[in-house]
Structure 1
């Protein structure tokens, strides 16, 4: 019994020495990754076993041959233990990091959802209050002269159109986020899409004294779904017109780079704060000053959804959209597969 207690004490002392060294090493590496910490823990455990066996073997005065056999056996076990532990430890560490990232993404999505509900509630509450007031005034006969009645009807139609666009944008975003978007890919002449978008944007640009300039040639043909591509171009043009000061210029041009086509929409808005550029395509992001529609219900996507829809539709086509500041404004570049 005394021999067993002695063996236990020797093995415990060797293991404690290894454990103390491992604890010190972990303290020194406390800023390292979780994989490094797992490696140190596994190595400490294996070294503690090896030191315990070697110490006990030395105390038992084994012959050199017997000691060599013990060391070989322990070494083989240590190699297998480190290999298996390292493999599964790396998988566990990766899973832990992935779970932490997933929780962070979930928190971001939840925060974005709350912001979205707040923005939509605000954008719906304002026109609804105006519609209610105008409808009550017409119903109670407070407004009687034909000119005012006609103006009320016009404003009711404009606010109704604005809410319809907001609902359409929400539906489009839900399709994109749910993966329910179905594209009918075809060879689409980009020049024709841009021409239609310019025609629909021209009245708003004229009202704001903004000059629309389009390149005369160089329009490539792209592989895209025409309705969605039309939405992308229209949203980019409307965004440029809405945030360009009066007497400004919006330039749209395109070209081809190997097997990819590019479309550029540049304006003279004065530039976007550098801190806002990474978030410009986020849902409901409006930046500073508030990115709300101009008075009079200027057309286009409201609620801060226009650029988010652009990114979703472009990425659904397998392309990408970028934005950068220029000398006197900003430039949006869309890249798609060319035909």
Structure 2
């Protein structure tokens, strides 16, 4: 009896080692197949041990055949259950990964929303406090003679209006409620309008804005929304270019659509911060109070969102010449639904 047990055990060990090697090899390549093979290997190990024991016990040929038939019948059953279990486990793992990814994305979105609300609240509170103080001084008749309080109140009001407009645009983009009014538009006109809008601020800051175009480039876009995106890119370049600097805006036709490059002289940004410039509310400066002409940090996020709504994108080269290069691309046709 001991000899039969030892033979069966030895056979099971040998087959088990071979089966374990096969399952381990498949697990590195195809986890689902390894999960199917695992119960089959277990049954094969048992079958090998039983078959070896039956052979050594010199049982009748009929009984030996019955044992082999029973074992052979169990193999496909084990494979079927292994496939069912593997499919279920794989679905559960996939669902778990998807849920974890979604929870992490929701946490990031919520954290970004809270941070944005805090930043914008701060940025709104600062000019409101200034407007209140200047309005009270004017109302009480204690404003300095010839002061520029009215002009400063108007400027702060315009800045807050732009900030609220950026928030509304960002909200439409993030909620998916933005509806594009597409039409054939000569992008040279949009570039010209964006540059013209930025020139008064650029002249105040001592910055030159130069625009050029290879030729007329026509694309199916929403003129108002894409004009907002281009205006944001040019305004951002003017804001971060020092006095006596130059902002270059260039329109060209690419292989798949239109390309608009905006080169500034901001001095460049760190490569690890390149994509952060598109985060709503983010600024490279640690200080949260924006300086003169500096917005709430929404312009680039809105520009990229509008470009992507058109089926294009906005990308940044963090170190290009004396500053950064922003590249806006849109396809020549309508965006895919």
Normalised by the shorter chain, which TM-score bucket? 0.7 to 0.9
The answer on whether the counterparts of 2:126 and 2:289 sit within 8 Å (CA) in structure 1 is: no
- Please say if 1:329 is aligned against 2:323: yes
The answer on whether the counterparts of 1:242 and 1:294 sit within 8 Å (CA) in structure 2 is: no
Pairs aligned (count): 314
In structure 2, the residue matched to 1:107 is: 107
Q: What does the per-residue CA deviation read over 1:162-209, in whole Å, with 9 as the maximum and x for residues that have no partner?
A: 111111111111111111111111111011111111111111111111
CA–CA separation in structure 1 for the residues paired with 2:126 and 2:186: 40
Alignment of 1:171-320 (within 5 A): 171-288=168-285, 290=287, 293-295=290-292, 298=293, 302-320=295-313
CA–CA separation in structure 1 for the residues paired with 2:88 and 2:141: 78
The answer on whether the counterparts of 2:211 and 2:248 sit within 8 Å (CA) in structure 1 is: yes
Q: 1:161 aligns with which of 153, 158, 172?
A: 158
In structure 1, the residue matched to 2:332 is: 338
- What's the Cα RMSD here? 3.1
Deviation at 1:44, TM superposition (A): 4.2
Structure 2: stretches of 5+ with no match in the other structure = 1-7
SS of residue paired to 1:66: helix
The answer on whether the counterparts of 2:238 and 2:247 sit within 8 Å (CA) in structure 1 is: yes
Deviation at 1:42, TM superposition (A): 5.8
- Please say if 1:97 is aligned against 2:94: no
In structure 2, the residue matched to 1:5 is: none
Q: Cα–Cα, structure 1 residues 137 and 205, in superposed 2: closer, same or farther, change >3 Å?
A: same
TM-score by length of 1: 0.82
Q: What does the per-residue CA deviation read over 1:84-104, in whole Å, with 9 as the maximum and x for residues that have no partner?
A: 223232222211111111111
In structure 1, the residue matched to 2:136 is: 136
Structure 1: stretches of 5+ with no match in the other structure = 1-9
In structure 1, the residue matched to 2:3 is: none
CA–CA separation in structure 2 for the residues paired with 1:245 and 1:152: 26
SS of residue paired to 2:185: strand
CA–CA separation in structure 1 for the residues paired with 2:78 and 2:330: 55
The answer on whether the counterparts of 1:256 and 1:338 sit within 8 Å (CA) in structure 2 is: no
